[in-house]
Structure 1
Amino acid sequence: MEKFSKLKELVAGVEADAEKFYNAGNGAAGTRVRKAMQDLKVLAQEIRTEVTDKKNSGK
């Protein structure tokens, strides 16, 4: 559950940069959004693996 909380924090943290990029055209904010999305992807994959392992170990 700790990783899921971290995932939510990452999404909330990137919100301001996404707004700056999409509404104000700030290129540097776009770079930060791309990095955050990569971090989210990695964390989501870790959560997927953890869920699969836990699900399969219960059988």
Structure 2
Amino acid sequence: MTENRLGSETSPYLLQHQDNPVHWWPWGPEAFAEARRTGKPVLLSVGYAACHWCHVMALESF
């Protein structure tokens, strides 16, 4: 996989992260199946659209 999978989501928060250089997956069984298949951990980013510090983290981390 070479792209982030958030471009087709309806959540404003998820859409804000569709261009991050992180290959994000929306929460769901497909993400967990891929993690099991590839032996990779699931890393979770939690936030909401109006959170100032979430925007700071996105700029500094992703």
TM-score, structure 2 as length reference:
0.28
Relative contact order: is structure 1 or structure 2 higher (C-alpha 8 Å, sep ≥ 6)? 1
Larger Rg: 1
- Between Structure 1 and Structure 2, which shows a larger proportion of helix residues? 1
